[in-house]
Chain A
Amino acid sequence: MTAFIILAIVALVGGIGVVVAPEPVHSALFLIVSIISLALFYILLSAEFLAAAQVIIYAGAIMVLFLFVVTLLTAGKEDREPPESLVGQRVTAGILALLAGGGLAVLGVVYPSRRIPLGLPAQFGNLRGMGNVLWGPDFLYLAAVAMMLLTGAVGVLVVNRPHRLAEANPRVEEQK
C-alpha cells in the first residue's frame, strides 16, 4: 500500500506537470516521470513484460521522437501560449473535463470490485507467459499490431514526402 501511494503521487505529479508546464520540453520530461512510475506499477501488478515494453517503447522510442520534434519546431522561437479565440473555452472545458474525469475516478474507487481468490497462474505476465499468449491464441492481435506499425511507417513517408515533382518541372523547362 505504501508503494501504491508513493507511485500514485509520483504519477499524478508527473501528469499535472505535463499539463501546467510552460515549455514543451519540460512537459516531455514530466511525461517521462509519469510513464516510468506507471512502469513500476506494472511490475507491482505482475506484468513484467509490459513494464519492460513501457520503458523501452514509451520512455525510449516515443519520448525520443517527441524530443526530436520539440527541438525541431521550437528551436530559437519564444512561444507564448496564445490567448483563447473562443471566450471562456478553457475554463468551461477544464471544469467539464475535471467533473467528468473526477466522476470517473470516484466511480472507480467506490465501485464494488470482485477479486478471484486463487493463486496466480504460472508465468503470469512475464516474457514466457506473454509469448505463449501472443504467439498462441492471440496471434491475431500481434499480427494486427505489426500491420498497424507497418501502415504507420508508410503513412509517415506519405505525409512527409518530398515535393520532387513540383520542383523538377521548372528546372526541365529552364533547361529547354
Chain B
Amino acid sequence: MMIPLNWVVGLGGALFAIGAVGVLVRKNPLIMFMAAEMMWNAAALVFVAYARSFHQMSGQVMAFIIIGTAAAEVGIGLAIIVAAFHHRHRLDIDEVSQLRG
C-alpha cells in the first residue's frame, strides 16, 4: 500500500485547521468540543503515518495515548459542560466568559 507520507501529513494539517476554525468560530460549546476532538484525531493520524513510514511502533503507542486522553477529556469536559449549562437557557460559550458560577 503506497500512500505517500506527505499527503497524509497534509491531510492531518487540513483536518487540524478545520478543527481550529470550528473551535474559534462556533459558539455552541458542544460543537466547539467536537471540533477539538477532530484536532486530536488529526494529530493521531499524523503519528500513525510517521509510525508506518519509519517502521517504529512508538508512533502507534502515542496514538493510543491520544485516544485514551481523548476519552478522559471527553468525560471531564462534558461533565463540566453539563454542570455549567444545565440551568442556563442558552448553549452559548459566552455565558461562562466570566469564569464565575
Contacts and interface: CB of A to CB of B under 8 A. Distances in A.
B61 interface: yes
Given A109-B10, A148-B69, A19 B18 contact: yes
Interface residues of B, number: 76
Contact of A98 (B10, B17, B46): B17
Nearest to A41: B45
Nearest to B92: A82
A35 B41 contact: yes
Interface in A40-95: 41-42, 44-47, 49-50, 53-54, 57-58, 61-62, 65-66, 69-70, 72-74, 77, 79, 81-82, 84-85, 90, 93-94
Contact of B14 (A70, A81, A105, A133): A105
A45 B41 contact: no
Contact of A15 (B24, B38, B74, B94): B38
A159 B22 contact: no
Contact of A109 (B6, B22, B24): B6
Question: Which one of B8, B44, B64, B83 has the greatest number of beta carbons of chain A within 10 Å?
Answer: B64
Given A1-B3, A159-B80, A53 B31 contact: no
Chain B CB within 10 Å — which of A79, A109, A121 has the most? A109
Contacts of B55: 116, 118, 120-121, 124
Contacts of B82: 69, 72-73, 160
B10 to A, nearest CB: 4
The 6 closest A-B pairs by CB, nearest first: A101-B17, A105-B13, A152-B72, A108-B9, A93-B24, A145-B68
Interface of A: 1, 3-4, 8, 11-12, 15-16, 18-19, 21, 24, 27-28, 31, 34-35, 38, 41-42, 44-47, 49-50, 53-54, 57-58, 61-62, 65-66, 69-70, 72-74, 77, 79, 81-82, 84-85, 90, 93-94, 96-98, 100-102, 104-111, 113-116, 118, 120-121, 124-125, 129-130, 133-134, 138, 141, 144-145, 148-149, 151-153, 155-156, 159-160
25 contacts: A1-B4, A3-B3, A18-B19, A19-B18, A19-B21, A21-B31, A38-B44, A50-B48, A50-B60, A54-B67, A62-B71, A65-B75, A70-B30, A82-B90, A93-B21, A97-B24, A98-B21, A108-B12, A109-B7, A125-B57, A125-B60, A134-B64, A138-B58, A141-B61, A144-B65
